[in-house]
Amino acid sequence: MYKKRRESITDKIKKNSLVVVFSGKAPRNSEDNFYKFNSNRNFFYLTGINRENFIYLYNNSEKEEETLFIEKPNEKMEKWVGRFLKEEKAKEISKIDNIKFNEEFTKYLITLFKDYDIENIYLDFKNWEIDEPLTQSQKLSKVLKEKYPYIKIKNINKYIENLRLIKDKKEIELTQRAIDITKEAIENMMIKSKTGMFEYQIEANYNYILDNYGVTTSFDTIAASGENAVILHYINNDSKTEDDDLILCDLGVKYKEYNSDITRTFPVNGKFTDRQKEVYSVVLEANKKVIEEAKPGKTLLELNELAKDILFEGCKKLGLIKEKDELSKYYYHSVSHFLGLDVHDVGGKKIKLKKGMMITVEPGLYIEEEGIGIRIEDDILITEKDSINLSKDILKEIDEIENLMKK
């Protein structure tokens, strides 16, 4: 699988070129403490390896050759940080036969420049902010521009991201497994919720199931009660719940690097009030209709416009607004994003949906003056003509939620 992915990329590379992709390194938190490592998603996608300080190199100057640079095993360090990934295991996972140690990388690169007529080097560039620290690709680029100005530096990022947009059978299976675990954890959370619990206690009942499966959350869990639910990325989870509070839980599971992203909103006491039902029904209608329209050829922008139309009509009936331009007071995010190795995966809002793409559908309404925040989010797979709701088995109907919580 990983070999085929690399071939799909390297087939597009100009002759007399190198491709270099770094796995990355966890930044320091404080003193001798580092943040948890998470491999560069593109490196993992091409190799299947989630390890620090690994480097993938492809050379097509005379004959095609792939090299994987790994960390040199260190028995002393293994006593502190755990087992190193050995050569044979790295070969088995990545299907790359030529294995070297990362301390050899710079010398090996210089040798390639001497022995071959290298014209281009493709690096993985992507920046969210201009003042972010330099990545390993950017640092290498800076050196190459100074030392080897005749070599053209190109960006491999779009080639990989375009491939990542379409999920294969294995990726869909892993995502479905993440969703199935999420379902069980959400139901455990709902059943055990009671008025007077703290949000972190509700979250703990979700985490209990994840811990049993040996998986982690795909992002910081949002367990927002009452007026906290109008804050989109509320993660404090430290408020005490009151009777008649709704709990908005935006959460997910990371399973073998693939992510679910689900939101459910439910009453902490197990019973929706009449007003909560009215608002919830509007959001649920938007959720269902947008899923129905999530088809090949549509864009996320178009889906968001549909969501806004439905939510606007609903807000008028709820007595909240009269004009559509007032909707942003109660709905202030987009209805979809792509899903995969990243929770907010590669792909833009203007890309036309195609078979194999995975997206979320997550309309919401946030009425601060009433202390009501409701979002309903599902994970959707685009098929040849329509779409499949991968999270369809996670309860979201009002009567289903209330009946479950009676337990």
Domains assigned to the chain: 2-164 (3.40.350.10), 169-405 (3.90.230.10)
Give me the percent of the chain exceeding a pLDDT of 70.
Answer: 100
Q: Exposed (0-12), middle (13-18) or buried (19+): which is 119, by Cβ within 10 Å?
A: middle
User: What's phi and psi for 381, nearest 5 deg?
Assistant: -105, 125
pLDDT of 276? 98
165-185: average pLDDT:
98
The rounded mean pLDDT for the chain is: 96
Q: Angle at the Cα of 77 (from 71 to 80), degrees rounded to 5?
A: 130
Residue 25 banded pLDDT, cuts 50, 70, 90: very high
Which candidate, 242, 225, 244, 243, places its Cα nearest to that of 234? Answer: 225
Residue type, 390: L
pLDDT of 369? 97
The pair of structure tokens assigned to 140 is: 């290498």
pLDDT of 30? 85
The pair of structure tokens assigned to 347 is: 């792909």
Residue 214 banded pLDDT, cuts 50, 70, 90: very high
| Residue 198 DSSP symbol | B
38-51: average pLDDT:
96
Residue 145 banded pLDDT, cuts 50, 70, 90: very high
| Residue 164 clears pLDDT 90, i.e. is over it | yes
42-47: average pLDDT:
98
Which candidate, 344, 378, 334, 385, places its Cα nearest to that of 176? Answer: 378
Find where tokens 């959460």 sit.
Answer: 251
pLDDT of 127? 78
Helix %, strand %, coil % of the chain (to 5): 40, 20, 40
Pairing verdict, β 65-70 and 98-101: parallel
Q: How far is CA 203 from the centre of its chain?
A: 20
Give me the percent of the chain exceeding a pLDDT of 90.
Answer: 91
pLDDT of 75? 85
Within 10 Å of residue 60's Cβ, how many Cβ atoms?
A: 20
Within 10 Å of residue 25's Cβ, how many Cβ atoms?
A: 15
Q: Angle at the Cα of 287 (from 286 to 290), degrees rounded to 5?
A: 80
25-45: average pLDDT:
89
293 by DSSP, 3-state: which?
A: helix
Which whole-number Å values give the CA distances from 266 to 7, 57, 58, 225, 245, in the listed order?
47, 50, 51, 10, 9
Residue type, 164: R
pLDDT of 11? 92
Tens of pLDDT, residue by residue over 218-276, are 999 999 999 999 999 999 999 999 999 999 999 999 999 999 999 999 999 999 999 99
pLDDT of 283? 98
Decide which of 88 and 73 is more confident.
88
Q: Which residues are catalytic?
A: 32, 233, 250, 261, 333, 337, 344, 362, 366, 375, 377
Sheet order of strands, 387-389 included: 358-361, 378-382, 387-389
Tens of pLDDT, residue by residue over 117-130, are 999 999 999 877 88
| Residue 316 clears pLDDT 80, i.e. is over it | yes
Within 10 Å of residue 126's Cβ, how many Cβ atoms?
A: 15
Q: Exposed (0-12), middle (13-18) or buried (19+): which is 46, by Cβ within 10 Å?
A: buried
Range list of H helices, 260-405:
274-293, 300-317, 398-405
Q: Exposed (0-12), middle (13-18) or buried (19+): which is 285, by Cβ within 10 Å?
A: middle
203-209: average pLDDT:
98
Lowest-pLDDT choice from 2-6, 76-80, 86-90, 367-371: 76-80
| Residue 397 clears pLDDT 90, i.e. is over it | yes
Contacts of 147 (CB under 8 A, 6+ apart): none
Beta carbons of 189 and 205 less than 8 angstroms apart:
yes
279-290: average pLDDT:
98
pTM: 0.95
The pair of structure tokens assigned to 18 is: 């190198």
H or E element, residue 263? strand 262-267
The pair of structure tokens assigned to 194 is: 């009671």
Decide which of 78 and 85 is more confident.
85
| Rounded distance between C-alpha atoms, residue 292 and residue 382, angstroms | 11
Beta carbons of 364 and 68 less than 8 angstroms apart:
no
